[in-house]
Structure 1
């Protein structure tokens, strides 16, 4: 499951849909926080490997992406720290509808993310990068499902990236949020290091194959994968929110 999660996540995000349920199914008696921390550890290797492969083929505007990466790390730390103080239930209930909006918005704009024409770097663009990183970083640290999808569409919509470049930027920001969550949860004793590192190897292998597919077939392939993954995420998040007590 870690291999398949790495493959899916490298293309369009959503690896957590596969990896987290697998962990909960195999280790039903392990505290959820430990499983979630272990999932982050397993994922970060594949995420960084996918980013490395993408960056060999695409060039990113670092003046925008770097502030988003730093802000996402800070946001994720704040989100992880806030988990114990605020209920996640309202987010859980709202998530299927937010994702449905994402799906419809992308579906009805077939040219969205087709061409890569990033806007000129300006203070406003850098501020938008900080806001995107901080917001989605907080969300990932606090709750998490759909983070990759939100980041992917954010880079396409707000910075005029195509889906391939947006996927590369998403991997960097997602690695930052994962690292923050790992540090926070591990400091609280929630980590199975052995299992996490073994799964990381499989996740990296999957990301190697997934990123190769995305680079070979381009933005159109990533867009289709994005639509499929978001559809599955809508169904799963709706099931979790409204049919499982």
Structure 2
């Protein structure tokens, strides 16, 4: 058991570093929990518990370094929250596997488009809020809140891509704002897992502590290095997530 706890702590630290920078840490942490012998549903709940701790830490760091925009987030957070509640309730009734093909195609598109677009997220060209971008932002936050509560894979990539496309943020500010929205949907979904007894705290608490340390390190690195660091990791994680989902579909 001690070896397994150490394993999930190491994996959790690495996952949190990656997730704080560009999202996608779940492709590192979830397999680690499964290898440790935790059942699949319990793995998802335990990982959500740890990821919530990590995303909160990252959010605080981005906020401290003024990489978040609360004049925008005050409009988006409530819709992310509502979306996550509806998504978490819907997952009880529908099979998420039907989303696999759609999400796979979107992840490939996001990764390749970002790879080919040299100027994407390179500079912060945010010009303020208007009716159009605020409406699109609300639709984005509600949709991805619902998606994260219902299914989840790739939500970090979609948030970064959407915030850059709609508000013209650079990767650093998109990461900061996206991480706060991701925290809202994470904690909302976590409540459902916790109420249903799907969190293993014996593994979850030490892994969460490791993720807090990793998230703090990763977010500071992202703030310091900016788009030069975030963009290549963002592209890599988007495409790795697509490969993982393709593998799941084909087996």
Shared fold (TM-score, shorter chain, > 0.5):
yes
Kept in 1: contact 2:62–2:68 (CA 8 A): no
User: How many equivalent residue pairs?
Assistant: 241
Q: Does 1:34 align with 2:42?
A: yes
CA–CA separation in structure 2 for the residues paired with 1:194 and 1:108: 44
- TM-score relative to the length of structure 2: 0.91
Residue equivalent to 1:57: 65
Computed over aligned residues only, the root mean square deviation of the Cα atoms, in angstroms, reads 1.4
- TM-score relative to the length of structure 1: 0.93
CA–CA separation in structure 2 for the residues paired with 1:60 and 1:118: 12
> Tell me, which stretches of 5 or more residues in structure 2 are unaligned?
1-10
Q: Does 1:67 align with 2:111?
A: no
Moved over 6 A (4+): none
Q: Does 1:97 align with 2:105?
A: yes
Q: Does 1:8 align with 2:18?
A: yes
CA–CA separation in structure 2 for the residues paired with 1:208 and 1:61: 19
Q: How does 1:26-175 map to 2 (within 5 A)?
A: 26-28=36-38, 30=39, 32-175=40-183
Residue equivalent to 2:28: 18
CA–CA separation in structure 1 for the residues paired with 2:102 and 2:163: 22
Deviates more, 1:173-182 or 1:183-192: 183-192
Q: Does 1:233 align with 2:241?
A: yes
Q: 2:225 aligns with which of 217, 235, 240?
A: 217
Assess, with a 3 A threshold, how the Cα gap between structure 1 residues 60 and 205 changes in structure 2: closer, same or farther: closer
CA–CA separation in structure 2 for the residues paired with 1:194 and 1:151: 31
Deviates more, 1:166-175 or 1:116-125: 116-125
> Tell me, which stretches of 5 or more residues in structure 1 are unaligned?
none
Kept in 2: contact 1:93–1:242 (CA 8 A): no
Q: How does 1:198-209 map to 2 (within 5 A)?
A: 198-209=206-217
State the secondary structure of the residue aligned to 2:124. coil
Residues 5-51 of structure 1 deviation map (CA, whole Å, 9 limit, x = unaligned): 111101100110111111112124x3x22221111111111111111
CA–CA separation in structure 1 for the residues paired with 2:85 and 2:32: 25
